[in-house]
Amino acid sequence: MDGPRRVNYNRRLPNDETPAPLTRRNAFYAQSGGVTAVINASACGVIQTARQHKRSIGRVYAGRNGIIGALTEDLIDTGRESSRAIAALMHTPAGAFGSCRYKLAGIDRDKAQYERLLDVFRAHDIGYFFYNGGNDSADTCLKVSQMAARLDYPLIAVHVPKTVDNDLAVTDCCPGFGSVAKYVATSMREAAFDVASMAKTSTRVFVLEVMGRNAGWITAAVGLADDADTPIPLLLLFPEIAFDEAKFLARLDAKVVQFGYCCVGVSEGLRDSQGKLLAEAGTKDAFGHAQLGGVGPMIAALVKEKLGHKYHWAVADYLQRAARHLASKTDLEQAYAVGRAAVELAVRGKSAVMPAIVRTSDKPYRWKIEAAPLDKVANVEKKLPRDYISADGYGITAKARAYLSPLTRGEAFPPFRDGLPQYVRLKNVAVAKKLAKSFSV
């Protein structure tokens, strides 16, 4: 078995001291940051499990476009969705309720934002806060929990992990990553077959740019395309390894001479020896991160200019995180599991925590869920370990394969009709506003 077919979500999590039952109150759920092929499975886990805890949780409201929905009192009543529609979230990509990139300032810098959140929560009797996202979302969830404690508002805040970058601390892996890993490895393998067919008289170098600003987990996953049964001349360019132009070009040219062609997987966050991003566009996003743009075509153009090899390049971009048709079954199961575990933790009174995935075995692959303190997760970035990268800096090691391979296993195809996948679009009925004062973001 590649993973557990059944997980006992009703058992107590480690170190769980179940408090007295809480007063029945409503819950708020929102999606944040870049969406994934399986983030809606986490939403499904949260909503379905909350519906099973009617003694503790009343209605489940979703924030339209993440935390912005809470600030602007733009709430969605998930109770207006049928059980069938909620179940269909399991095979639907992207964010069913809308996501956002919006950073809450520290409470001492912008107290008005937090007071507004409290006003909205109080108006709608929200006692549970579930925030589904990556590093910046963990920070938001922690701030909200701290705000509630500081302002003496009874709120249970639980972070639901998600990020294709796979860079959250504590958890073994992040829901969303396994499916991206499966997509980029498959895409590189298929492209390599194409290039090999044409290399004699046409393209000799193919470059695939993948996501990963500071951590090379997705780049490493590209390396799964090349294995003993399907050897591919492949070079990987990681953000953890400074780019050496001369060394790279020599290695690539040697592979073209030996095999007739070469493929390259490159992280969008590739840096030079001075630590400067090769593809920094000069702008910043809402969290202050540099906007990146096009390291793939830059590498391809360099190959053409210095070596004269004909090339093609592709940027996986949104395709890698939206490809629900090729999602990993393991990833899907884990995405649902963290959503469900988040609710189980919350109804036991656990706040400022995150359900983390703990690997208990590589062969066979086994995992479980444990609660992780959110202050150990927020603002901590987990990079690709050096021993996952080959000694020459251009490939992955056996240790990396042992870690990566189980996360891509299993197929969980969506339903198809007339040859195309069928996804659900929720009604997303708005909750009537109760506050007279509006709030702009």
- The SS3 of residue 225 is helix
- The SS3 of residue 129 is strand
**CA 291 to CA 211: how far, in whole Å?**
12
- 318's CB contacts (< 8 A; 6+ apart) are none
CB burial of residue 342 (10 Å; 0-12, 13-18, 19+): buried
Tokens of 230: 């399907």
CA nearest to 27, candidates 169, 126, 168: 126
Decide: 378 and 135 in contact? Cβ < 8 Å.
yes
Annotated active-site residue in 165, 226, 253, 331? 165
Tokens of 54: 């009617």
What is the b/e burial string over 65-95, where b = at least 16 CB atoms within 10 angstroms of the residue's CB? bbbbbbbbbbbbbbbebeeebbebbbbbbbb
Q: Count the neighbouring beta carbons within 10 Å of the beta carbon of residue 172.
A: 16
Tell me whether residue 418 is one of the annotated catalytic residues.
no
Amino acid at 246: A
- The SS3 of residue 355 is strand
Amino acid at 424: V
Rg (alpha carbons) of the chain, rounded to whole number? 23
Q: How far apart are the first and last CA of the chain?
A: 48
3-state secondary structure 245-275: HHHHHHHHHHHHHHHCCEEEEEECCCECCCC
List of long-range contacts for 273-276, beta carbons under 8 Å, 24+ apart: 273/242, 273/243, 273/244, 275/242
**Residues involved in catalysis:** 165
